[in-house]
Amino acid sequence: MKDLRYPIGNFEFKPFDEETKKGWLNDIKNLPNDLELVVKDLNKAQLETPYRDGGWTVQQVVHHLADSHMNCFVYFKLTLTEELPTIKDYSENDWSNTTDVLNTPITFSINLLYALHQRWLDLLSSLTNEEWQRKFYHPTHKVEISLWDMFAVYSWHGKHHIAHIKNLIETKGW
Q: State the CB neighbour count (10 A cutoff) for residue 148.
A: 21
Residue type, 118: Q
Q: Which pLDDT value is given to residue 27? A: 97
SS3 (DSSP) at 124: helix
For residue range 54-89, what is the model confidence (pLDDT) as tens digits?
999 999 999 999 999 999 999 999 999 999 999 999
Domains identified in the chain and CATH numbers: 18-172 (1.20.120.450)
Give the gyration radius of the chain's Cα atoms.
Answer: 16
The answer to whether residue 16 scores a pLDDT higher than 90 is: no
Q: Phi, psi (5° rounding) for residue 121?
A: -60, -40
For residue 24, which of 96, 165, 121, 107 has the smallest C-alpha distance? 121
The reported pTM is 0.94
Q: Which pLDDT value is given to residue 144? A: 98
Residue type, 80: L
For residue 167, which of 51, 65, 48 has the smallest C-alpha distance? 51
For residue range 49-62, what is the model confidence (pLDDT) as tens digits?
999 999 999 999 99
More confident residue, 12 or 151: 151
